[in-house]
């Protein structure tokens, strides 16, 4: 370790890309999605807002289904109870970006209402004037796998 690294507190075992950024979750979202907002505005102008919104809804829905299936495959047991248990135990990331209210929890369904969402907040911050809410505020209902 060099003198400079010791003075700066750098650990040579970790690549600089893996260092802590010291950003809040809000700052991460602002950075990550700030330029995306401009891109979506340009696409809305080029393709038409209605076409863009329908495409975003479809692609987002398909991505969410795939993520759910991929997550289910990683579970120790491939049953709905294990999936629901995972959904109830939010990660550190999940605890900071979503607030959920469980509406129904039965052997056949888990229904949650999202009351706070950092993705939605980030989207609305830059899109208020042009992007209608593509995902209405409604409970999300998961039924058996």
Q: Please state the three-class secondary structure of 75-112 as a single string.
A: CCCCCHHHHHHHHHCCCHHHHHHEEEEEEEECCCEEEE
- What is the spatial distance between Cα 99 and Cα 113, in angstroms, rounded to a whole number? 8
pTM of the model: 0.59
Asked if 138 and 108 count as a contact pair (C-beta separation under 8 A), the reply is: no
* Residue 55 confidence (pLDDT) above 90: yes
- What is the spatial distance between Cα 113 and Cα 139, in angstroms, rounded to a whole number? 4
Greatest mean pLDDT among 54-58, 66-70, 112-116, 132-136 lies in 54-58
Res 82: pLDDT:
85
């Amino acid at each position: 370790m060099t003198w400079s690294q010791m003075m700066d507190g750098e650990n040579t075992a970790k690549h600089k890309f893996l260092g802590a950024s010291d950003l809040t979750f809000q700052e991460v979202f602002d950075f990550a999605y700030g330029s995306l907002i401009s891109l979506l505005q340009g696409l809305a102008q080029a393709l038409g807002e209605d076409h863009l919104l329908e495409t975003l809804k479809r692609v987002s829905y398909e991505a969410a289904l795939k993520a759910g299936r991929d997550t289910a495959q990683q579970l120790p047991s491939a049953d709905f109870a294990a999936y629901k248990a995972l959904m109830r135990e939010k990660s550190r990331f999940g605890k900071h970006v979503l607030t959920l209210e469980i509406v129904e929890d039965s052997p056949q369904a888990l229904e949650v209402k999202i009351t706070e969402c950092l993705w939605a907040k980030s989207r609305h911050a830059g899109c208020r004037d042009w992007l209608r809410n593509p995902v209405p505020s409604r409970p999300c209902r998961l039924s058996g796998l």
